[in-house]
Amino acid sequence: MDKSSVIQPRQAEFNLAILNGEEISLPTDDLYIPPNALKIFLESFEGPLDLLLYFIKKQNLNILEIDVSKITDQYVQYIELMEKIQFDLVGEYLVMAAYLTEIKSRMMLPKEFDDENEEDDPRAELIRRLQEYERYKEASNNLEELPRINRDFYVASSALPEFESKESLPSVDLNQIAQVFAELIERQKLNVSHVIEFEKLSTREKMTYILGLLVNEKYLDFYRICLKEDGKIGIIVNFLAMLELVKDSLINIIQSEDFGQIHLSAKEEIH
């Protein structure tokens, strides 16, 4: 068989296969045909090797009808095409083709039956290996779908920049530090807080003082009750005392014009 009967490496999918002379569509639910799969040509089957194993497993094809020697010949040609492209895929088919040869050889040889140690059906072992092969292939596909470093994402590898200070630190002697500290202590002693003490002036005493003056005088100028020694705070206290006396209805306030002189007069009942 020439190389034209073997699948070309760039063919990715198979739409149809031939089983016992009839074209069939490839099952898609429980079978995956990988890209660059090996396609074989036999009298009873034509299609991917994965599909051949699938039909053997489903009992659609008798393993005794398979010409394994043709599979081997086609496999050798397949190696010549794939050895420089995807050699790991070739290795998978090599193991399976070798095992098919072993199964067929064992089934064609005469069997010796022994009641105590009956030989197992080699096809059952084939089914077990096919299931194991499918599990490995499914696990491989799952791993392929996982994110991969330098394929799906990249790890930052840039190093942090190193900065060098161009300013040189001053050379300070320990004795100089002690001297500066002593000067700070002496300077702190000079910072004396200036405390303002307010003179204690009583509004009640100023009210009594005003009423005492009005006993002998009919009218009293407001500034007469403001003593010089009381200062500004004395004016405020006298003004508050005056307002308290007005509130208690003890005096009257008289002012002829805005901002004019303020005069105080006592109620009639004080005299």
pLDDT band at residue 221, thresholds of 50, 70 and 90? confident
8 Å CB contact between 34 and 106: no
* Alpha-carbon gap, residue 222 to 197, rounded angstroms: 26
* Alpha-carbon gap, residue 131 to 54, rounded angstroms: 10
* Per-residue pLDDT, 121: 62
8 Å CB contact between 219 and 262: no
Assess if CATH 1.10.10.580 describes domain 203-270.
Answer: yes
Tell the residue number behind the tokens 């020694």, with chain if given. 229
* Alpha-carbon gap, residue 69 to 72, rounded angstroms: 5
- Please say if the pLDDT value at position 80 is more than 70: no
Sort 17 into a burial class: Cβ within 10 Å, 0-12 / 13-18 / 19+: buried
* Alpha-carbon gap, residue 73 to 67, rounded angstroms: 10
* Per-residue pLDDT, 12: 37
8 Å CB contact between 240 and 203: yes
* Per-residue pLDDT, 265: 85
* Alpha-carbon gap, residue 23 to 126, rounded angstroms: 26
* Per-residue pLDDT, 104: 66
pLDDT digits (tens, 9 = 90+) for 141-182: 888 888 888 888 887 777 777 777 777 777 778 888 888 888
Type of residue at 13: E
Mean pLDDT of the 209-221 span: 85
Tell the residue number behind the tokens 């799952």, with chain if given. 142
pLDDT digits (tens, 9 = 90+) for 222-268: 888 888 887 888 888 888 988 998 898 888 888 888 888 888 888 86
Question: By three-state DSSP, how is residue 258 classified?
Answer: coil
State both tokens at 159.
């190093």
Structural domain boundaries of the chain? 3-145, 203-270
Question: By three-state DSSP, how is residue 70 classified?
Answer: helix
pLDDT digits (tens, 9 = 90+) for 189-213: 777 777 776 667 788 888 888 888 8
8 Å CB contact between 134 and 56: no
Instruction: Work out the mean pLDDT of the chain and round it to a whole number.
Output: 73
* Per-residue pLDDT, 123: 59
- Please say if the pLDDT value at position 49 is more than 50: yes
pTM: predicted TM-score of the whole model, two decimal places: 0.32
State both tokens at 117.
């140690």
Question: Measuring CA to CA, which residue among 55, 36, 35, 37 is closest to residue 45?
Answer: 55
